[in-house]
Structure 1
Amino acid sequence: MAYTRKDVSTLTAAERRRFVKAMLEIKRRGEYDEFVRMHIDYYTSDGEEGLRAAHMAPSFLPWHRRFLLDLEKALRKVDSSVSVPYWDWTRERSTTHAPWTADLLGGNGRVTDRQVMTGPFAYSGGQWTIKEGITDGEFLTRDLGRSRNPIQLPTRDDLESALADPVYDTRPWDSTCTKGFRNKLEGWGTGRGSVAWRNHNRVHRWVGGAMLGGASVNDPVFWLHHAFVDLQWTRWQQRHRGARYLPATPPGAGDDQHERIVARHEKMPPWGVTPDSMEDVSRIYRYA
């Protein structure tokens, strides 16, 4: 039977406690840090050599869908009632309401060093030490809204601009695409400043701190954010019936993207599953 992912703002106090407890347990076991390490390993950009599976590529959505499922599987081994809630950043835009409450993810970082001092994932609580990262810092950091150079969370209209596009992805299949649902949602824009960050990417920038860069998994909000991004893929599929993951076939030998992206029936590392196999997960979970 499929389980349900809920809007974080609708969780009961008991559901919040169980989610936090399961997260802290897989962190204690060392499992959580493996997820951080994996995301760092697959944070490959356009300018680098080799295959791009997780970012700046068509497989951004199926790769993170499988990544979420693995995290959820680990949580459900601890407590079978737990699933990853989603954070609707088009509605929940306050820095003091869900998910930024003391009984869930804690709040913003302090002014001096952006260290999160509240909630179960505060370093001072002794249960959430950063062990895998791109810096030597041991504590979780946030800069909600980016205090020195403020930006706003994406709006419903911003999200609608992605959902309205009937084509999954287009050439050149990277961060420079101006058409296609995938990059409009992933959010690699053009220009300078805040306009260069849209939807998914803008949320990472808005949270700031640990959510910047490959080690963003160190902030548990990563999962709530990506659950909402995953929901958008489901909504897009429902709106554009019959639309499929693209490209359907790999770029040829003379193409700049040859062996740099994953086509529909090719295997995504590290699991060896295809984007095609990730398009329909209705038997595994659904969204409330």
Structure 2
Amino acid sequence: MVYVRKNVRKLTRSERRRFVEALLELKRRGEYDEFVRLHIAFFRGDGDTGLRAAHMTPSFLPWHRRFVLDLESALQSVDDSVTVPYWDWTRDRSTTAVPWTDDLLGGNGRPRDRQVMTGPFAYVTGNWTITENITNVEYLTRDLGRSRNPIDLPTRADLNWALKDPVYDVAPWNSTVTKGFRNKMEGWGSDSNPWRNHNRVHRWVGGVMLGGASVNDPVFWLVHSFMDMQWTRWQRRHRKHRYLPAKPPGRGSRHYGRIVARHEPLPPWDVTPDELEDMSEIYRYA
């Protein structure tokens, strides 16, 4: 049966409670921290050697599609009614709007140390201690809007700028490309405009969302659910275009062994980007 991912602002009171309780149960079981560890392990960039599967690479979108699916499956093992909602940051743009409410993700961090003090994921509740991190901070942090150097969230125009590009990705298949839907959505930009779409959202939220341990903030899943929705929209708009590259770079290429082609396994799973392109038999977006 195909299930539905909803806009977080459309969740009923019961759906909000069930989503939060399922996340907290995964945390109590120790399962949630496994997702944090996996994301940290695959947080590699252009300057790193070896394969890039999750970031600054064509497989950014399918990698995170599978990652969200795995979290969703874990949530449904707790409560089979739960799905991962999405946060439309082009509409809900203030620091007090959904999802920053006390019955969902809680609010901004306090000025002194950016520690989140409200909502179910605040450290003071005793239910959300950060144990897997790139620092020794044990509490959830946020700096919504970036207080010292304010920035705005991406707009609908920013999304449309990416969605109208019919090509999925282009060589050299990394953070430097200026064409292609993937990097326009992932958001690596120029010196004059360094952060677009996905990357800009991470920086607007701030706190733990700034690095490889960003999964420690549950908003991570709402961000990537919305990103996945945009990939679905792009696929429908450009039906003749597919994930690229279709074939891996040859042995003589400097990109050999560094990116995942359409029919190659996407680590750490035994699944290819090609197999992740159509999710219509698993879920849809409302």
Counterparts of 1:237 and 1:134, CA distance in 2 = 35
Once the two structures are superposed, the pairs formed by residues 63-212 of structure 1 within 5 Å of their partners are 63-192=63-192, 195-212=193-210
3-state SS in 1 of match to 2:203: helix
Instruction: Give how far 1:162 is off.
Output: 0.4
Once the two structures are superposed, the pairs formed by residues 46-65 of structure 1 within 5 Å of their partners are 46-65=46-65
Q: What letter corresponds to residue 69 of structure 1 in structure 2? A: L
Counterparts of 1:197 and 1:13, CA distance in 2 = 34
Deviations 1:34-59 (A, max 9, x none): 00000000001000100000000000
Counterparts of 2:255 and 2:132, CA distance in 1 = 31
Instruction: Give how far 1:241 is off.
Output: 1.1
Q: What letter corresponds to residue 147 of structure 1 in structure 2? A: S
| 2:266 matches 1:268 | yes
Deviations 1:5-56 (A, max 9, x none): 0000111111000000000000000000000000000001000100000000
| 2:242 matches 1:249 | no
Counterparts of 2:97 and 2:15, CA distance in 1 = 16
Counterparts of 2:2 and 2:153, CA distance in 1 = 31
Counterparts of 1:13 and 1:117, CA distance in 2 = 21
Instruction: Give how far 1:214 is off.
Output: 0.3
Q: What letter corresponds to residue 237 of structure 2 in structure 1? A: R
Report percent identity of matched pairs: 73
Counterpart residue number, 2:238 = 240
| 2:215 matches 1:217 | yes
Counterpart residue number, 2:18 = 18
Counterpart residue number, 1:34 = 34
Q: What letter corresponds to residue 182 of structure 2 in structure 1? A: R
Counterparts of 1:255 and 1:201, CA distance in 2 = 28
Counterparts of 1:97 and 1:45, CA distance in 2 = 33
Instruction: Give how far 1:94 is off.
Output: 1.1
TM-score by length of 1: 0.99
Query: Gapped runs of 5+ residues in structure 2?
Result: none
| 2:224 matches 1:226 | yes
3-state SS in 1 of match to 2:4: strand
- State which of 255, 258, 264 in structure 1 corresponds to 2:256: 258
Q: What letter corresponds to residue 211 of structure 2 in structure 1? A: G
Counterparts of 1:107 and 1:242, CA distance in 2 = 42
Q: What letter corresponds to residue 119 of structure 1 in structure 2? A: G
Counterpart residue number, 2:43 = 43
Instruction: Give how far 1:254 is off.
Output: 1.5
Counterparts of 2:122 and 2:89, CA distance in 1 = 22
Q: How many residues are treated as equivalent by the alignment?
A: 286
User: RMSD in angstroms over aligned alpha carbons?
Assistant: 0.5
Deviations 1:215-241 (A, max 9, x none): 000000000000000000000001011
TM-score by length of 2: 0.99
Counterparts of 2:233 and 2:266, CA distance in 1 = 23
Instruction: Give how far 1:272 is off.
Output: 1.6
Instruction: Give how far 1:174 is off.
Output: 0.3
Deviations 1:100-136 (A, max 9, x none): 0000000000000000000000000000000000000
Counterpart residue number, 1:278 = 276
Instruction: Give how far 1:256 is off.
Output: 1.4
Counterparts of 1:256 and 1:215, CA distance in 2 = 29
Counterparts of 1:103 and 1:38, CA distance in 2 = 28
Instruction: Give how far 1:255 is off.
Output: 1.2
Instruction: Give how far 1:243 is off.
Output: 1.0
Q: What letter corresponds to residue 164 of structure 1 in structure 2? A: K
Counterparts of 1:182 and 1:58, CA distance in 2 = 6
**Structure 1 moving runs of 4+ over 2 Å:** none
